[in-house]
Amino acid sequence: MREELHIFVSDVHLGINDDTAEVRESRFLDFLKKLPEETTGLYLLGDIFDFWVEYRDVVPRSLVRVLGELAALSDRGVKISFFCGNHDYWLTDYLREEIGMEVIYEPLIVREVAGKRLCMGHGDGLGNTNPFSKLLFSAIRNKWLIRLLKLFHPWLIFRWARKWSSASRNSCKRNNYSFKGKDSNLYRYLCKYGEGKDIDYYIFGHVHSQMEIDVESGGTLYLLGDWSEAASSLNLSGTYIGFGACPNISK
């Protein structure tokens, strides 16, 4: 029997409006095509798209090759779980109905994967104490605000979304956005959240920093890097967890 292999990625930001857009898409497409036959689950932990605003009859154009490869993976039996991030939260049923993905809106979930108890999500908003950031987190996920904005023509909303995405990245650069280790809001939140839950691994993105760090309440936190300079993935089987190259588990 072949051992299960589960792959986790985050923060690809496909469709980003800068000079890395074509390289990112090519890199991610190549990554998908080379996933081992043993791959059982693919977990897309948020901000896979730099923006995604979906209407009942309209979705963003482009990225057809990536969506086609994801559909092919789904058809061959790979379970794809799409976690909504702060850049790609506004979707409805397109990825579920057309690609076959499981769509997860919750900020985090706990699930047993390959014999391990995992807590995973995108990571935005968790433990954040900044009033403006908390308001923004709530607004992005407010179903009534989403419905109101979708009354506007897609032409306007898509252009607004691209500008907001660019402004968000520039703000992060100005504020030297990086993971602050045990002083970060996310780490403190997970330490508290994990008390009494016997979680083996925490897997999150959002902070664009590939890192492994022990959680004080038990377990290990794995943070996924972004795709600005290279592919970043985490691989989990029943006997292995690590970044980068997939383990050779073919039987």
* pLDDT of 145: 78
Those residues with Cβ within 8 angstroms of residue 194's Cβ, 6 or more apart along the chain or in another chain: 119, 202, 215, 217, 218, 219
Q: How far is CA 12 from CA 48, 98, 104, 152, in A?
A: 5, 21, 17, 28
Q: Is 37 helix (H, G, I), strand (E, B) or coil?
A: coil
The number of residues making up the chain comes to 251
Q: What are phi and psi of 202, to 5 degrees?
A: -110, 130
* pLDDT of 251: 45
* pLDDT of 174: 44
Q: For the chain, what are the domain ranges?
A: 5-243
- pLDDT tens-place string over residues 10-29: 999 998 877 788 899 999 99
The kind and range of the H/E element at 20 are none
- The Cα 205–Cα 126 span in angstroms is 12
CATH code of the region 5-243: 3.60.21.10
Q: How far is CA 187 from CA 175, 202, 204, 215, 218, in A?
A: 19, 10, 11, 8, 12
Q: Which two tokens stand for residue 72?
A: 């092919």
SS3 content of the chain, % helix, strand, coil (to 5): 30, 20, 45
Residues of the chain with pLDDT under 70: 1-2, 164-178, 245-251
- pLDDT tens-place string over residues 211-220: 999 999 999 9
